[in-house]
Amino acid sequence: MANRVCIIGGGVAGMQVALVLNTLGISSLLVEKSATLGGRVPLLSKTFPFFNDDGFNDGKEFTDALERDLRSAPLSEVRLNTMVTDVEGDFPNFTIRLSDGSSVQAGSIVVATGFTPFDPTSLKEYGYGDYANVITATELEWMLNPRGPTGGKLLRRSDGKPAQKLAIVFCVGSRNRRIGAPFCSRICCSYSTKQASTVMERSPHTLVVCFYMDVRTYDRGFEEMYSLAQERGVKYIRGRVSRCKQLPDGSILVRAENTLLSRPFSGEFDLVSLSTGMRPCEHADELSRLLGIARGPDGFFLCREWFRHPHDATRDGVFLAGCATGMKPIRNCMIDGAAVAARVAAVLRDTASLPFPRNRVTTNLVQPIPQTFSISSERNMYDSSSFPKGETHGHHNS
Amino acid sequence: MAVAATIPLGTIKEIPENDFFLTPSCILGVFNPGSEVLIGRIYDLLGLRWRAAGDRAESQCTCCTGFSSHGEVISIESTLLVAARIWSIAAELGIENITTACVTSYAIHNECLEMYKHEPGLDERVDRWLLQACGRRLHFPKHVVHASDILYRYRDVLAEKFQHRLVERRTGQPLRVVDHVGCHYAKVFPEKSVGGAEGCDVLAAMIRAWGGQTVDYPERRHCCGMGFRQCAIRPNRGYTMACVLKKLESMEPWKPDLILTNCPGCNVFLDKEQWAILQMTGKEYDIPTLSYTELAGLLLGWDPYDVVGIQSHTVPVEPLLDKIGIPFDPSKQWFSETSGA
Amino acid sequence: MKTKQSTKAGAPASFVSNNGDDLKSVSSQTLVDAYEKLRDQSEPSNGSRTYPKLCVLHGTAFEREKDRREVREWASRCPAEMQKWYEEARHQSCLWWLKNHLVAKRALSSCIACGVCTSQCPAAQYYGEYNPRAIVDAVLSEDEDQLVALLKSDLLWYCGQCGSCKPMCPRENNLMGLISSLRFLAQLKGYHLYSVRGRQQYAMRHLCGGNLWNRACTLYFRNPVAANHPDFGPRYAQYHSQAECQMVRVGASPDRPGQFGGRKLPPETLTEFRSCVAGGGTLALWNQLEKSASEDAEKKGLSIDEYHDRVNHEG
């Protein structure tokens, strides 16, 4: 039996798995496809809800600390610029082939591949990609980061002038059945509030308006972050933005309804930031096939049991940590990492006693979500020889 | 596996290349008859095989009742039957592809098709009713597209045949053209339009292919305000006027040379309300409005009055013809005698 | 052949200038026969571009009265399945309709009141008190009284059926269809009489419905006379005064056999079309509209023609 654990993905969750495994005396190989560790966290100008959580002033300080710990952990090995190309065998003897040509033996595999932010180019009503001053939350974050391209200053992308009026649009790419994303991405309300609050703190005369449908700042400390943002002067308007159009001077006209006052809202902004929802990691499809594990209708990996085995993937010996199962804040990724490490340790210690639930896949997310229809341009849907019934479940490539 | 999107990204609309049944438009027949006849002329020019109501036997084709349906004076089942009757006529002629002259028709046919997908047993009921009503059977068409989809598909072929381009003759600058796509083309079934609701490209692509440049302005996707019962009943018409005014005010800073439409209703109101707006606000927008077939006809060098029928427009189109360099004889506009009725 | 009994109506050829009251005593068969005779004019033989003496039938009280009678008889002679359905549906509750009408039952799933529909609804921008969310709210409330209040109000009639709300709704609701369906119900139940804009439906019935029944087309090229469209300006007036010649010129066929709009349909086509319209149950609506209009007219002390004109101009 191979005692080692292969961790796919070097974000904060993957690093935490390796660190905790190390404390439990288990060796691991962490495989990361890019040249750096930390995932998307190093981009962050601030973490939330406390803005200098644990004394780290930005995302990179935190991931640097994790990386230092990891490098000094004797039982963990890290390989950067490396991807998994094939997986053979079964628990507890997986043979994993890597893109550097080598192959390794592992007793278990942990998938900690994270997420991808939704690309709003396809949602033409927001004008992303057409108008310079419409940006994504990721781009805003990097702009606010002193390490970033503007040294932390909020500037209009069209002409480099300071942006005095910022609109933040919630729920872009989420909570939208029409585009096949009926789910909520959970942390966008919170990270948007963090961004808005940061802007107001730095320049109190900026107009920052958040256009929301709900404010889901749900976790410990988040509601307090929300009130602080409001006290700093961030405006919240309850209404889904229907359209952003560019005016002759490059400013963006934003339209929504202020639903609490039942009044139309129309305003010009220097910058519009789209708080995009989350999608599964780029190679989720491939990984799912390589590893033989199932994904839910939202595209994120499925667990075996919702309550008792939330980190078991649908194949013996494969586990899931971090945003690979859905968006969550950094803290929860860290908690996940520790929980998975404990689970893996238990499983490796006692492989003979069938530690995996049999014939169980969480059915919670697998129920088809009623939808209107799926388009098939290949065949004639209206073949008169068989009158079609309403379809409830269609599949297209994600 | 992910949840199927109603509008999967990257869907390319399938537009058939030949063999069409062309259905007529109520509004075009009333206000811009040339625009409708031009569809047939352009199909002929492109060498396409098509049928409509070409001879007495075929003038079986009736209106689709779309306007009445959205004016709520006809039941949905009646509309389903009328649409089914039209499909059966097309089927008799052996044609599977329907092109509509009107955008509301386009949405109505598609709405009917959609209903069969979601309502179990509807097909059997309609088939039975159709048989009782007029001895015909329910037969689904393979494609229902709008006539502007066909011109979109063949826009480059047409461009080669043009004698003129959407270019200012003196300066060589591309003309600035507002593309106003009918709401019922792009919004009711966005996945069935070229480019979706917000990024609808059916007219913009024609404009680019024919030498012009498009104009993006804040109210670009705003409805023209035709509104069915809002324009039909006089006291409601303020709504229509307000919508037209809103669009004109919004597009004005970009100084457009032309408004291009693919919907019969839009072609009427964006043009004709400009006169009322002039009276009420004193501002003369003077932006000529043409349908895609009217524009194609003009660029092909066909006679502006005898073939295209620009005299049916309220805002004079002649200044645009001058800009492009299309010759015309203004004395040909009107007849000396009036029709007796 | 019946001889007419009336003392008020003149010879059939002059029915055109009679009003509804005058024609009340004329038998239905006479009315219909006279109409058909006046309608079918032969083509001009001298090759001129226009029909010199085409009888104006559209928009007349004569046509309306004829339609009234003809539709009533057709409906009672062979009532279609859907006609009976609609006739019974009007006795059911609004909630029943929402669950059973073909369009309404699928129109709405759930609403988060995000306001994206309202934020770009042209009607909401023009009519200050209108908000499409209010309609969704009333429907989702499942409260019969609230629904009835909605159906009686002007709010139901502001929507322009443009569909701008449809591609935007994150829950994929079909607001446009829902409103259309509710409007149908309001007319069936007579609630449309309570609002200015609702009463206009009587005019719509005869404008669009009359064209459908007699010409199988919703709009007829002779309908929009310049006097009714002063907003279109003098150029339009000039065009419309010679509409027929202009149409012939560009290749259209006004009131002639041929293709495209304005053409004359063979009688078989019109009969088939009427059967389809009747087969879908529309006659139940038209009969109901006539009934409620005549009751409302009587209440207000107006003749049916005066009522028709009034609802066309109110508001």
Please give the average per-residue pLDDT across A275-285, as a whole number.
92
Gap between the terminal Cα atoms of chain A: 36
User: What pLDDT was estimated at residue C151?
Assistant: 96
Q: In B, which residues are within 8 Å of A394 by CB distance?
A: 4
Which residues in chain B touch residue C250, judged by CB atoms under 8 angstroms apart?
33-34, 37, 306-309
Mean pLDDT for B6-20 is 75
* pLDDT score at C22: 81
Nearest CA in chain B to A176: B5
**Choosing among A285, A293, A396, which should be mutated to test the B contact, i.e. which has the most B CBs within 10 A?**
A396
What pLDDT was estimated at residue A388? 29
**Partners of residue C234 in chain B, C-beta under 8 Å:** 275
- C133-152: buried (b, 16+ CB within 10 Å) or exposed (e) per residue? bbbbebbeeeeeeebbebbb
3-state secondary structure B45-58: HCCCCEECCCCHHH
Convert the pLDDT of each residue in B62-106 to its tens digit: 888 999 999 999 999 999 999 999 999 888 888 999 999 999 999
Which residue shows structure tokens 């090995």?
A: A77
Per mean pLDDT, which range of A261-275, C50-64, C65-79, C239-253 is the poorest? C50-64
* Angstrom distances, CA of residue A282 to CA of A33, A113, A114, A138, B41: 11, 9, 9, 16, 50
B172 has a pLDDT exceeding 60: yes
pLDDT beyond 70 at B286? yes
B273, pLDDT greater than 80: yes
* Chain A residues in contact with C112 (beta carbon < 8 A): 175, 213-214
Annotate A136-149 with b (16+ C-beta within 10 A) or e (fewer). Answer: bbbbbbbbbbeebe
Mean pLDDT of the region A310-320: 93
Buried b (16+ CB within 10 A) or exposed e, A352-384: eeebeeeeebbeebeeeeebbbbbeeeeebbee
Q: Residue B59's pLDDT is what?
A: 58
State the pLDDT at residue C4.
38
Nearest CA in chain A to C120: A242
Nearest neighbour of A375 by CB, restricted to B8, B113, B197: B8
Block residue for tokens 């929301």: A212
Mean pLDDT of C259-263: 77
| Nearest by CB: B71 against C197, C204, C252 | C204
Residues A197, A187: Cα–Cα separation, whole Å: 15
Q: Which of A375, A383, A390 sits opposite B118 (nearest CB)?
A: A390
Question: Domain B156-329 belongs to what topology?
Answer: Rossmann fold (3.40.50)
- Asked, colleague to colleague, whether B20-147 and B156-329 share their fold, the answer is no
Q: What is the C-alpha separation between A17 and B168, in angstroms, rounded?
A: 67
pLDDT of residue B52: 79
Helix (H), strand (E), coil (C) string for chain A: CCCCEEEECCEHHHHHHHHHHHHCCCCEEEECCCCCCECCHHHCCCECCCECHHHCCCHHHHHHHHHHHHHCCCCEEEECCCCEEEEEEECCEEEEEECCCCEEEECEEEECCCEEECCHHHCHHHCECCECCEEEHHHHHHHHCCCCCCCCCCECCCCCCECCEEEEEEEECCCEHHHCECCCCCCHHHHHHHHHHHHHHHCCCCEEEEEECCCCCCCCCHHHHHHHHHHHCCEEEECCCCEEEECCCCCEEEEEEECCCCEEEEEEECEEEEEECEEECCCHHHHHHHHCCCECCECCECCCCCCCCCCECCCCCEEECHHHHCCCCHHHHHHHHHHHHHHHHHHHHCHHHCCCCCCCCCCCCCCCCCCCCCCCCCCCCCCCCCCCCCCCCCEECC
Tokens of A16: 């935490």
Task: Give the Cβ contact number of residue A312 at 10 Å.
Answer: 26
- Do residue B142 and residue A297 have CB atoms under 8 angstroms apart? no
CA distance C267 to A376: 41
What average pLDDT does chain A have?
Answer: 88
Instruction: Name the C residues in 159-178 with CB < 8 Å from any A CB.
Output: 167-172
Judge: C122–B75 Cβ closer than 8 Å, yes or no. no
Question: Who has greater pLDDT, B153 or A357?
Answer: B153
**Band of the pLDDT at B13, cuts 50, 70, 90?**
confident
pLDDT at A359 (0 to 100): 61
Does B1 sit within 8 Å of A398, measured CB to CB?
yes
Q: Encode pLDDT of A342-391 as tens digits.
A: 999 999 987 765 567 776 666 566 544 433 333 332 233 333 333 323 32
Q: Decide: C132 and C118 in contact? Cβ < 8 Å.
A: yes
Strand residues in B40-173 grouped as ranges (E): 50-51, 97-100, 143-146
Of C203, C188, C205, give the one whose Cα is nearest residue C315.
C203
- For residue B116, pLDDT beyond 80: yes
Is the pLDDT reported for residue B50 higher than 70? yes
The count of C-alpha atoms lying within 13 angstroms of the C-alpha of C110, restricted to the half-sphere facing its C-beta, is 7
When CB atoms are compared, the residue of C109, C114, C131 closest to A213 is: C114
- The reply to whether residue B33 touches residue C260, judged by beta carbons under 8 angstroms, is yes
**Residue B333 is encoded by which pair of tokens?**
């506009």
Test the B interface: residue of A115, A116, A118, A122 with most B CBs within 10 Å = A122
Residues of chain B with C-beta less than 8 angstroms from the C-beta of C272: 60, 85, 133-134, 136
Give the mean pLDDT of chain B: 91
- Interface contact B275-C235, CB threshold 8 A: yes
SS3 call for C31:
helix
Domains of chain C: 12-77+200-313 (no CATH), 87-194 (1.10.1060)
Q: Does C128 touch chain A (CB under 8 A)?
A: no
- Shortest alpha-carbon distance between residue A64 and chain B (Å): 35
Q: Which residue of A has its CA nearest to C134?
A: A262
- Report the candidate in A142, A81, A114, A84 with the shortest Cα–Cα distance to residue A11: A114
Given this model, what pLDDT does residue C19 score? Answer: 81
Convert the pLDDT of each residue in A138-165 to its tens digit.
999 999 999 999 999 999 999 999 999 9
With cut-offs at 50, 70 and 90, classify the pLDDT of residue A93.
Answer: very high
Spell out which residues of chain A touch residue C135, defining contact as CB-CB under 8 Å.
none
pLDDT tens profile C120-164? 999 999 998 899 998 999 999 999 999 999 999 999 999 999 999
Task: Show Cβ contacts of residue C67 under 8 Å, excluding neighbours closer than 6 positions.
Answer: C206, C209, C210, C213, C214
Average pLDDT value for residue range C246-253: 89
Cα separation of A321 and A319, whole Å? 7
**Lowest-confidence range among B335-339, C74-78, C171-175?**
B335-339
Would you call C114 an interface residue with chain A, using a CB distance cutoff of 8 Å? yes
- Chain C: give the shortest CA distance to residue B107, in Å: 10
**DSSP per position, C57-117:** -TT-HHHHHHHHHHHHHHHHHS--HHHHHHHHHTTS-HHHHHHHSTTGGGT--------HH
Sequence-distant (6+) residues with CB within 8 A of B228 are: B67, B70, B71, C160, C161
Rounded to the nearest integer, the mean pLDDT of chain C is: 88
Task: Please tell me which of the candidates C126, C231, C268 has its beta carbon nearest to residue B273.
Answer: C231
Average the pLDDT over each of A53-62, B107-116, C236-245, C254-263 and give the range with the smallest value.
Answer: C254-263
C112 vs A238: CB contact, 8 Å cut-off? no
More confident residue, C5 or C188: C188
* Residues ≥6 apart with Cβ < 8 Å to A198: A45, A46, A51, A144
Question: What sign results for the dihedral spanned by CA atoms B282, B285, B290, B295?
Answer: positive
pLDDT 10s digits, C292-307: 999 999 999 999 999 9
Q: What is the mean pLDDT of residues A84-112?
A: 95
Span C25-52, average pLDDT = 74
Least confident segment among A26-35, A372-381, C67-76: A372-381
Which comes out higher in pLDDT, residue A299 or B162?
B162
Q: Which residue has the tokens 């705003």?
A: B222
Residue numbers in C near A214 (CB within 8 A)? 112
Q: How many CB pairs under 8 A join A and C?
A: 61
Pairing of strands A134-136, A165-172: unpaired
> pLDDT (tens digit, 9 = 90+) per residue, A37-61?
999 999 999 999 999 889 999 999 9
What local confidence, expressed as pLDDT, does residue C49 receive?
Answer: 61
**pLDDT, tens digit, 9 for 90 and up, residues A191-218:** 999 999 999 999 999 999 999 999 999 9
- Spell out the residues 6+ positions from residue C21 whose beta carbon is closer than 8 angstroms to its own: C8, C303, C304, C305
Checking if the pLDDT of A282 tops 80, the result is: yes
Q: Does C119 touch chain A (CB under 8 A)?
A: yes
For residue A375, what pLDDT is reported?
Answer: 30
Given a contact cutoff of 8 angstroms between Cβ atoms, the answer to whether A235 and A260 are in contact is no
CA B22, CA B186: separation in Å to the nearest integer? Answer: 20
Mean pLDDT value across residues B131-160? 94
Name the residue among B161, B38, B26, B149 with its Cα closest to residue B98.
B149
Residues of chain A with C-beta less than 8 angstroms from the C-beta of C167: 178
DSSP class per residue in C181-205: HHHHHHHHHTGGGGSHHHHTHHHHI
In this predicted structure, what is the pLDDT of residue A352? 64
Mean pLDDT, rounded, for A114-139: 95
Q: What is the mean pLDDT of residues C28-35?
A: 88
B188:C224 CB<8 A: no
Contact indicator for B315, B259 with CB cutoff of 8 Å: no
**In this complex, do A242 and C120 lie within 8 Å of one another by their Cβ atoms?**
yes
Instruction: Report, as an integer, the average pLDDT of B31-49.
Output: 94
Chain C residues inside the 8 Å CB shell of A239 = 114-116, 119
User: What pLDDT was estimated at residue B53?
Assistant: 54
In contact, A304 and A356? CB cutoff 8 Å = yes
Q: Are C286 and B73 in contact (CB < 8 Å)?
A: yes
Distance from C-alpha of C235 to C-alpha of A302, rounded to nearest angstrom? 68
- Report residue B299's pLDDT band, with 50, 70 and 90 as the boundaries: very high
A178, A397, A398 ranked by CB distance to B6: nearest: A178
Which residues of chain C make contact with B241, given a CB cutoff of 8 A? 231
Rounded distance between C-alpha atoms, residue B242 and residue C122, angstroms: 9
CA distance B56 to chain C (A): 6
Number of C-alpha atoms within 13 angstroms, CB side, residue A170? Answer: 30
Q: How far is C24 from chain B (nearest CA, A)?
A: 24
Predicted confidence at residue A365, as pLDDT, reads 60
Amino acid letter, residue B144:
V
Residue A398's pLDDT band (cuts 50, 70, 90): very low
Q: What percent of chain C has pLDDT over 70?
A: 91
- B133 and C276 within 8 Å at the Cβ level: the answer is yes
The CA–CA distances, whole Å, from B326 to A3, A105, B37, B301, B304 equal 83, 77, 21, 7, 9
Residues of chain A with pLDDT > 90: what percent?
76
Pick the CATH number of B20-147 from 1.25.40.80, 1.20.1050.140, 3.30.300.130, 1.10.760.10: 1.20.1050.140
- Confidence band (pLDDT; 50, 70, 90) for A296? confident
Give the pLDDT confidence of C273-283 residue by residue, as tens digits: 999 999 999 99
SS3 B290: strand
**Chains near A (3 or more Cβ pairs under 8 Å):** B, C
The ranges assigned to domains in chain B are 20-147, 156-329
Q: Is A95 in contact with A5 (CB distance < 8 Å)?
A: no
Q: Which residues of B touch C229 (CB under 8 A)?
A: 272
- Assess C124–A contact: CB distance below 8 Å, yes or no: yes
